[in-house]
Amino acid sequence: MLNRKELSKEIKKKASELGFHSCGISKAELLTKDTEHLKKWLAQNHHAEMAYMNNHFEKRIDPRELVENAKSVISVLLNYYPEKNIPEEDNFKISKYAYGKDYHFVIKEMLGKLLTFVEQKTEKRIARMFVDSAPVLDRIWAHKSGLGWIGKNTCLITKDQGSFFFIGEIILDLDLFYDHEITDYCGSCTKCLNACPTNALIAPYRLDSRKCISYLTIENKNNIRDQFKNTFQDWIFGCDICQDVCPWNSKSIPTTLLDFRPSNELLTMRKSDWKEIDNKKFNILFKLSAVKRTKLEGLKRNIRFVSE
């Protein structure tokens, strides 16, 4: 039987072999210092109409409420930075994370292989895998596991490759060797705050979802308010502005995963094609995509809003 330090090292090595950019481990415990921040964010209604953020609060701040006898949180990052961006000329924009296959499917499969490896090295575990799919504060755990820091744009940023990463976790009943939080390297930079066209970043490290283009084009189920007219800069699903301007993302390296590459059909879309999109075309373009989340009518609403 490997000791905690050796086993943790083996888990990280396996994660790298599976294709994860990085893997870190933290102790499953109450997120004491983050609890008040979350309470304040919710009390100020900065979660907009994402009511689920108010649900299962105890589980959200303590992984031991999610997994019986939880001892450790294994966090992983998966790079999705594209080799080529969708052309911007005569075009609308969608967030890079939605260029290819829905990340939930991709990471869940990879996490399953990592958990199988852990169980082969130890025994059958009480464990659950999470990919933005339950009340888990992904960025907090990735930060606690030493994978990056939470920047002024509220994204997790890594020192070596910026912030274009998906985050996943395995919470399990196994004592491991724990990593430590890393320093915040944002310094005096405020490029993300200055670049946000809707002023959703109301202060460093504070996001008001009610003003966020990503929220307004994806999670928002209502009509988009007129106050945001002429501010979306042609974004129709999500928004990457606060990441694109971040100096740390000058270090981004394209993903090698074919699943995250845009299809030829998506690369050839132009404004006239988007405006005429129907159910058949929508399903061809986004059969296994995260864009399915907003559905055809939601996407058409967004297109109308930025076109009129």
Read off the pLDDT of residues 251-262 as tens digits, 9 standing for 90 and up.
999 999 999 999
Residue 54: is its pLDDT beyond 80?
Answer: no
- Two tokens at 271? 């404004």
The whole-angstrom distance between residue 60's C-alpha and the CA centroid of its chain comes to: 16
Q: Per residue in 59-109, pLDDT tens? A: 999 999 999 999 999 999 999 999 989 999 999 999 999 999 999 999 999
Quote the longest CA-to-CA distance of the chain: 65
Residue pair 46/208 in contact by the 8 Å Cβ criterion:
yes
Q: For residue 198, which amino acid is it?
A: T
Whole-angstrom distance, CA of residue 198 vs CA of residue 220: 15
Left, alpha or beta for 146 (phi > 0: left; psi -120 to 50: alpha)? left
Q: Per residue in 116-151, pLDDT tens? A: 999 999 999 999 999 987 889 999 999 999 999 999
Which pLDDT score, from 0 to 100, does residue 230 have?
A: 97
Residue 9: is its pLDDT beyond 80?
Answer: yes
Task: Give the mean model confidence (pLDDT) for residues 48-69.
Answer: 88
Which pLDDT score, from 0 to 100, does residue 52 have?
A: 77
Residue pair 114/55 in contact by the 8 Å Cβ criterion:
no
Left, alpha or beta for 114 (phi > 0: left; psi -120 to 50: alpha)? alpha
Active-site residue set: 132
Whole-angstrom distance, CA of residue 24 vs CA of residue 145: 5
Question: What is the share, in percent, of the chain residues with pLDDT greater than 70?
Answer: 100
Task: Give the mean model confidence (pLDDT) for residues 276-296.
Answer: 95
Q: Per residue in 169-226, pLDDT tens? A: 999 999 999 999 999 999 999 999 999 999 999 999 999 999 999 999 999 999 999 9
Which pLDDT score, from 0 to 100, does residue 232 have?
A: 98
Residue 39 CB neighbour total at 10 angstroms: 12
pLDDT confidence bin for 1, thresholds 50/70/90: low
Residue pair 186/199 in contact by the 8 Å Cβ criterion:
no
Residue pair 165/116 in contact by the 8 Å Cβ criterion:
no
